[in-house]
Structure 1
Amino acid sequence: MVFGTTHKVRSHRLGRRRKKGGNRMVVAPWIVITLVCVLVAAGLTWGFVALMRAGCSGEVYRVTIAAAPSVAGTLEDAAQAWEATQPEASTGQCIGASVREVAPDAASRGMSGDWDEKSLGPRPIAWAPDSQAWSAWLASNETTAGIVAAEPIVLGQATSVLAVAESKAAELGWVGGEPPAWSAVVDAVEAGSISLAAANPRTSTEGFVAMLNAAGDGSGGFSEEAMAAWKAGTGSGALVDGAGEPLAAYAEAPDPTRVVTALDYQVEEFNVENAPADPLVPITPAGSSVSAVATYQVLGGGWVSDSDASIAEAFGAYLEDAVASGEFDDADLRAVDDPAAALAATSPETVGQAVRTWQVGREDLHVLFLVDRSTSSDNETVSYGGEDLTAGQAAVQTAIATVGEMASTYRVGVWEYGVGAGDGEPYRQVTGLTELSDEGRETVENDLYAVSENSYDGGAPLYDTLLAASAFMNGEAADGAVSVIVVLTNSSQDDVSEGSAEDTAGQLEGPTVVYTVGFGDTDPQQLTTLATATGGAFVQAPDDGGVLASIGG
């Protein structure tokens, strides 16, 4: 009997039987069974632990992904789920993805120029804009085409719509039947039936896709005639940063004649959160072929190493499987039935042509503020906004007020100057030229406040700073934009730089125009010499507010 089971077969053991010796320990069968079960369980546990330990090792190395705010949360969830599977590099090191929320307009500007790590975080290895149009715009330019060369993975899409008060949509016959064509929308604007709160295509996805749809030829191409009509209907003064501002205004004071360019989920969320008496309805004009197709793609910039790219590609493969299985579920996005067709609607050629045509005739302002932070700026008190402030504080407040009056398409940079301000230079580049989207405007204002905390002992090295700033701005000059330098100072003399005001004025070259703003007891003679050499002027600092009207804005 073995483990209590009777065998009918005789033993096959050969040779002499073992001799019994001493006192033999008798083990009960139930003890043997228990022991075996324990050993088996222990073996399984050891095997599981060994399997877990056979995965990656060491600290997790993560690559950065810049993601549009609308998809960042879902991507972060996917990154955590991927990391839980213990992906590893070829070296055996644990790898993962770090998702950072970056607005797509800020990301596209950063990748085409200087990436501002202070406000945007590390340079990304992969990018997830909420519309492939942003990638197509970069790809349409020879200098940035290689950055977005990788094949994108389609995550989902949102629909470009017009948010229209239900009563107005019914009055115009835009509900319950055929939707209006984009030309009919523009006709309604010209007739005065509606006004259009069009979002800026360069600062918002909803504005970008609306412009592409409005300027489409109905077959996926571009129509200059349709673009001309769209520009006439929107006007340069009616542009807003995005749908948020006009939607909030409608919640406070409903205006049925006000139509807003938006995405479908923005309209749905607005109605749920505000429950207006006259709810907004999403109208998709006939001929709209462009949706906000959210994508994920590995970047090809010079900062992307092969090893980092391979990690981002591995996460991309995980995302692709998650999208296919339905596990990637973003509340703002719908599934895309034909990814290839959706991507084809935003070809680099069509997008590039549309954006450049839209920009023609729009005269934007590019402004670089030079803020004097030398000793004199803290030693003189002036009146600004009904308060007594140092000249330096008043200068910063004037710059902030000026930025507040600027259009969202304007670009602003900030330098400060004083002896030892920079690394071997008398000036420091605080903020690069930044488009004044909501985020960009906040960045510039915060940097200006930070500058007010700085102070440099010694004189004011204006001449050297102004020459360097002029060269910088001339190098950044762009078609359709006026390039301006605004000097904010209470110091009339420069005893630090070599040469004189006349010498410096003789070296200043266009197209950048210089305006000098004097605070306190500044003698305007020297500052006038510098400004008029470029066609600019000396401006006496205001008692409050900004100087936008004085510099041609």
Structure 2
Amino acid sequence: MVFGTTHKVRSHRLGRRRKKGGNRMVVAPWIVITLVCVVVASGLTWGFVALMRSGCSGPIYRVSVAAAPSLAGTLQDAAQAWEATGPEASTGQCIGAEIREVGAAEASRAISGDWDEVSLGKRPIAWVPDSQAWASWLASNETTAGYVNSDPLVLGQAASVLAVPSSKAAELGWEGAPPTWADVLAAAQEGTITLAAANPRTSTEGLVAMLNATGDGSGTFAPEAMDTWKAAIGSTALADSAGEQLAAYIDAPDPARVVTALDYQVEDFNRDNAPADPLVAVTPSDSRVSAVATYLVLGGGWVSESDAAIAEAFGGYLEGEVGSGGFEDTELAPVDDPAAALAQTTPEVVGEAVRTWQVGREDLHVLFLVDRSSTTNGETVAYNGEDLTAGDAAVQTAIATVRAMESTYRVGMWEYGVGAGEDVPYREVSGLTELSEDGRGNLETDLYDVSDNSYEGGSPLYDTLVAASEFMNGQAADGALSVIVVLTNASQDEVSAGSAEATAEQLAGPTVVYTVGFGETDPANLTTLAEATGGAYIDAPEEGDVLAAIGG
């Protein structure tokens, strides 16, 4: 068995959706009294049995489990049911599992990098992605290969499909005779359909669709097929998720628009929106990769033996539920052959496909350094048709840049000024955060908040920049451009030791610096600092962002 132990448990439904309420019935009082007595007696009996059965005592120690949003509710139900059985550690302490909802794409990046406990909760001991392809991607990297359990538990699967308007599916004859992926890509290139793909770096539906479209039908990657895939989807059709593409279909129905999706997403869309031209889930005939949901106990250095043992115990409970049919999720179909399902993706194939996809699509890791010294409030500049202080214009420029960035980018912010930190003239406001919907919103809020801060004295740019460069060099990752963006109207730094030239000599490493000057600033020093790293000085825009200027 996957986790070494088979658990015999009674079946119970773990579906995500629950209906509440219903018709009210008038019930005779004597029936109510009788039922209450039975329920109370039953409750006392159940409580006595549970007490006798459970040997643990004290508070429950729970390990963190990161689960994809579509599975988090079902896993939470399972965790509660498991805890009701009174599981205990060898020490006699009560144990359990805390389920945290984390998107599979976001989790795969955070597990391999800096896990943000503020937004994502405790670093996970176990992981439940909605597709094993994400675990294969993590395992494809030599550094993170050991993080992934080589023997995961298969929970179920969702089919990778194309959401095709019914009228177009009938016109093309795709309902009765599904096309091959080559047929689909040819139709897109000919203009017969518009292939609206989800980003494989941000969505499960996008990742499995790309793996199917670029495979050779025998489980290996075909590089030439990636060129065809990229040409077929173009650059304008890409979105972060199928949800965005499906929402666009509601806003502007287009019978030629075909969306990469998972089967349950099409079902949910039709039920929730009742479109005049319903969508049909079409599975290309040569598709071999589905979204196989798995439970994995992680093996990173943060995972202790005791925590891993608890996660394994929860996995054993899940295994028993899956085997008995008790694990039911409305968005997953059962898997008859778990070994074959896991073999749909391998680290070698997923790694090669994703890396080939990334060619020409470099991610950005950006750290904004926002000057909040007193000089930023002493000058007025024009931005977006308004007269703002230089400091407020800098904040607005940063916000506009964040809004223009892709969701796979990671962005952080420091503010600087004399006394900003306890022993240093800068303060981390936001660590590097992936621009998910919540991440982007939180960062914008932080940027607005720093506009209320002002520090008396000069602008300590040099000391701040050296510290920021060391920080970003330590965060550098393959496939990502590491950038620092300085936003200031100060021409001189009379606070830090040394000069612009001496500071420039300390800015070694892969991180590139761009300096954005507002108002009457003298760009000489800012140019020296930026060009030493391969970056550039940028005159502050009167509206909009600076994304294009910094490599986006």
> What TM-score, normalized to structure 2?
0.86
- 1:157-179 Cα shifts (integer Å, max 9, x gaps): 111111111111222221122x1
1:518 is displaced (CA, Å) by 1.8
Segments of 5+ residues of structure 2 without an aligned counterpart are 1-40
Identity %: 75
- Stretch moving more, 113-122 or 384-393: 384-393
1:308 is matched with: 307
Q: Distance in 2 between matches of 1:163 and 1:197?
A: 10
Counterpart code for 1:523? D
Q: How has the CA–CA distance of structure 1 residues 45 and 259 changed in structure 2, closer, same or farther, with 3 Å as cutoff? A: closer
Q: Is contact 1:517-1:539 (8 Å) kept?
A: yes
Q: How does 1:61-76 map to 2 (within 5 A)?
A: 61-76=61-76
Q: Is contact 1:241-1:438 (8 Å) kept?
A: no
Q: Match of 1:91, SS?
A: coil
1:377 is displaced (CA, Å) by 2.9
Q: Is contact 2:500-2:528 (8 Å) kept?
A: yes
- 1:85-118 Cα shifts (integer Å, max 9, x gaps): 1111122221111111111111111111111111
Q: Match of 1:367, SS?
A: strand
Counterpart code for 2:413? V
Q: Distance in 1 between matches of 2:516 and 2:229?
A: 39
1:536 is matched with: 535
Q: Distance in 1 between matches of 2:314 and 2:423?
A: 43
Counterpart code for 2:163? A
1:277 is displaced (CA, Å) by 0.5
Q: How has the CA–CA distance of structure 1 residues 86 and 323 changed in structure 2, closer, same or farther, with 3 Å as cutoff? A: same
Q: Distance in 1 between matches of 2:477 and 2:94?
A: 45
Name the Cα RMSD after superposition. 2.5
1:101 is matched with: 101
Structure ranking higher on relative contact order (CA contacts 8 Å, 6+ apart): 2
Counterpart code for 1:147? Y
- Stretch moving more, 360-369 or 110-119: 360-369
Q: Distance in 2 between matches of 1:481 and 1:56?
A: 48
Q: Is contact 1:203-1:437 (8 Å) kept?
A: no
1:78 aligns with 2:78: yes
- 1:159-218 Cα shifts (integer Å, max 9, x gaps): 1111111111222221122x1111111111111112222111111111111111111110
Q: How has the CA–CA distance of structure 1 residues 447 and 66 changed in structure 2, closer, same or farther, with 3 Å as cutoff? A: farther
- 1:285-304 Cα shifts (integer Å, max 9, x gaps): 12111111111111111111
Q: Match of 2:111, SS?
A: helix
1:237 is displaced (CA, Å) by 4.2
Q: Distance in 1 between matches of 2:306 and 2:363?
A: 41
1:293 is matched with: 292
Q: Match of 2:163, SS?
A: strand
1:493 is displaced (CA, Å) by 1.4
Q: Distance in 2 between matches of 1:196 and 1:437?
A: 24
1:266 aligns with 2:265: yes
Q: How has the CA–CA distance of structure 1 residues 521 and 84 changed in structure 2, closer, same or farther, with 3 Å as cutoff? A: same
Q: Distance in 2 between matches of 1:51 and 1:423?
A: 52
Q: Is contact 1:463-1:501 (8 Å) kept?
A: yes
Q: Match of 1:491, SS?
A: coil
- 1:212-266 Cα shifts (integer Å, max 9, x gaps): 1111110122111222211222234432111111111111111122221111111
1:71 is displaced (CA, Å) by 0.2
- 1:23-56 Cα shifts (integer Å, max 9, x gaps): xxxxxxxxxxxxxxxxxx9xx9899479538532
Q: How does 1:4-83 map to 2 (within 5 A)?
A: 48=48, 51-52=51-52, 55-83=55-83
1:14 is matched with: none
Q: How has the CA–CA distance of structure 1 residues 426 and 516 changed in structure 2, closer, same or farther, with 3 Å as cutoff? A: same
1:280 aligns with 2:279: yes
1:441 is matched with: 440
1:133 is matched with: 133
1:371 is displaced (CA, Å) by 1.4
2:397 is matched with: 398
Q: How has the CA–CA distance of structure 1 residues 394 and 175 changed in structure 2, closer, same or farther, with 3 Å as cutoff? A: same
- 1:439-479 Cα shifts (integer Å, max 9, x gaps): 44334334433444444443222112223333444455555
Q: How has the CA–CA distance of structure 1 residues 155 and 454 changed in structure 2, closer, same or farther, with 3 Å as cutoff? A: farther
Q: Is contact 1:119-1:443 (8 Å) kept?
A: no
Q: How has the CA–CA distance of structure 1 residues 164 and 519 changed in structure 2, closer, same or farther, with 3 Å as cutoff? A: same
- 1:343-396 Cα shifts (integer Å, max 9, x gaps): 111111221121112222334444322111223334444443344444333212
1:484 is displaced (CA, Å) by 3.0
Q: How has the CA–CA distance of structure 1 residues 492 and 150 changed in structure 2, closer, same or farther, with 3 Å as cutoff? A: same
Q: Distance in 2 between matches of 1:547 and 1:47?
A: 63
Q: How has the CA–CA distance of structure 1 residues 479 and 152 changed in structure 2, closer, same or farther, with 3 Å as cutoff? A: closer
1:183 aligns with 2:182: yes
Q: Distance in 1 between matches of 2:408 and 2:382?
A: 32
Q: Distance in 2 between matches of 1:49 and 1:278?
A: 55
1:6 is matched with: none
Q: How has the CA–CA distance of structure 1 residues 47 and 334 changed in structure 2, closer, same or farther, with 3 Å as cutoff? A: closer
1:267 is displaced (CA, Å) by 0.9
1:525 is matched with: 524
Counterpart code for 2:216? D
Q: Is contact 2:54-2:86 (8 Å) kept?
A: no
1:509 is displaced (CA, Å) by 4.2
1:339 is matched with: 338
Q: Distance in 2 between matches of 1:137 and 1:521?
A: 49
1:327 is matched with: 326
2:89 is matched with: 89
Q: How does 1:152-551 map to 2 (within 5 A)?
A: 152-177=152-177, 179-422=178-421, 424-477=423-476, 481-509=480-508, 511-551=510-550
Counterpart code for 2:84? A
- 1:476-515 Cα shifts (integer Å, max 9, x gaps): 5555554432111122211121111232234434654322
- 1:102-135 Cα shifts (integer Å, max 9, x gaps): 1111111111111111111111111111111111
1:28 is matched with: none
Counterpart code for 1:494? D
Q: Is contact 1:206-1:261 (8 Å) kept?
A: yes
Q: Distance in 2 between matches of 1:54 and 1:225?
A: 59
Q: Distance in 2 between matches of 1:327 and 1:457?
A: 64
1:320 is displaced (CA, Å) by 1.0
Q: Distance in 2 between matches of 1:50 and 1:535?
A: 67
Q: Is contact 1:139-1:149 (8 Å) kept?
A: no
1:12 is matched with: none
Counterpart code for 2:171? E
The runs of 4+ residues in structure 1 deviating greater than 6 Å are: 44-47
Q: How has the CA–CA distance of structure 1 residues 45 and 292 changed in structure 2, closer, same or farther, with 3 Å as cutoff? A: closer
Q: Which has the larger radius of gyration?
A: 1
Counterpart code for 2:305? D
Q: How has the CA–CA distance of structure 1 residues 148 and 457 changed in structure 2, closer, same or farther, with 3 Å as cutoff? A: farther
Q: Is contact 2:54-2:87 (8 Å) kept?
A: no
Counterpart code for 1:186? L
- Stretch moving more, 425-434 or 117-126: 425-434
Q: Distance in 1 between matches of 2:372 and 2:287?
A: 52
> What TM-score, normalized to structure 1?
0.86
Q: Is contact 1:213-1:290 (8 Å) kept?
A: yes
Q: How has the CA–CA distance of structure 1 residues 50 and 288 changed in structure 2, closer, same or farther, with 3 Å as cutoff? A: closer
- Stretch moving more, 306-315 or 504-513: 504-513
Q: Distance in 1 between matches of 2:114 and 2:267?
A: 37
Q: Is contact 2:517-2:537 (8 Å) kept?
A: yes
Counterpart code for 1:539? I
Segments of 5+ residues of structure 1 without an aligned counterpart are 1-40
